[in-house]
Structure 1
């Protein structure tokens, strides 16, 4: 049975380390980590989670865009396990969008990200994947990939004027959606 793991927060040194590549993805430890990440993500209203966020320095994350209280306008997609992911190409267009992070609670930031990316990763079953991601899903991928490289979204914010509290963000979203 999957376990809900504790999400570490900014200040924990693991969040600032480059994660090691996953070798044997069929190893029970890795498959259990994937199950636990899925359970943890489902429990937290996140749209993505990376192994370093649960204190595991492995190059894997889950992208799981879906509408929820933290991201009410998120598109729906099946949760996707991405092992040893990388960006192969990206658009020239960079778009700013609001991001939050389970490891940086209480703060949102307006973060510039590539609007479209071509990515490659290994799926949970060992199959190789190559696809183009756009808009919000591309943003999630880039955010999670940053975690594997020891970067948090605050490092990408261009100005402290682009930061807002989670409470104020939710209040503004409620006004916009009403």
Structure 2
């Protein structure tokens, strides 16, 4: 495993659509996911997409959310992830991004999503996510399509730096 530099907004790879993975058992993919997990942990992140470490492949890692809304110690990796909303309900919540350091903004996201993809053994994986984990997954899958959270914001006045961000509206149902 190795730490990889995190690509920052402005690099064209963050705006490109990532390529589907053809052979999930390729040993290089295991190395990529391990490096992504280590890089995410070192940066105190909760999710990371392959384009953020200069890989143009459809791969993500994230930290699932435990029962009481706290991040678990486990890190999950998934190849060729696909999301479907499982509800029309959207919630407004604060988001940041390791590729856009320090800034935060309020972003509407589906409150409940279904996720499917492939693990490193080539097995199909399916799961549901709600709340903050659903937000993480939507954020990371967006990266695979060249979308950053700024593109999803509906009110740029909510963009700010960490503590300065007015999060009073966080958790509103849209």
State the TM-score, normalized to the length of structure 2: 0.88
SS of 1:130's equivalent? strand
Structure 2: unaligned runs, 5 residues or longer: 169-174
SS of 1:31's equivalent? helix
Structure 1: unaligned runs, 5 residues or longer: 68-72, 174-178
SS of 2:36's equivalent? helix
Deviation at 1:65?
Answer: 4.2
Deviation at 1:167?
Answer: 4.5
C-alpha contact (below 8 Å) 1:92/1:114 kept by paired residues: yes
C-alpha contact (below 8 Å) 2:93/2:108 kept by paired residues: yes
SS of 2:133's equivalent? helix
Deviation at 1:159?
Answer: 1.2
| Structure-to-structure mapping, 1:105-120, within 5 angstroms | 105-120=101-116
- Which residue number corresponds to residue 127 of structure 2? 131
Deviation at 1:121?
Answer: 1.1
CA RMSD after TM alignment: 2.0
C-alpha contact (below 8 Å) 2:24/2:119 kept by paired residues: no
Distance 1:34 1:12, change over 3 A: same
- Which residue number corresponds to residue 153 of structure 1? 149
1:128-171 Cα shifts (integer Å, max 9, x gaps): 111211000000000000000000000011111111112524x9
Deviation at 1:123?
Answer: 1.5
Task: Name whichever of 123-132 and 107-116 sits farther off.
Answer: 123-132
Task: Name whichever of 107-116 and 78-87 sits farther off.
Answer: 78-87
SS of 1:113's equivalent? strand
Matched pairs, number? 166
| Runs of 4 or more above 6 Å deviation | none
- Which residue number corresponds to residue 19 of structure 1? 18
- Which residue number corresponds to residue 172 of structure 2? none
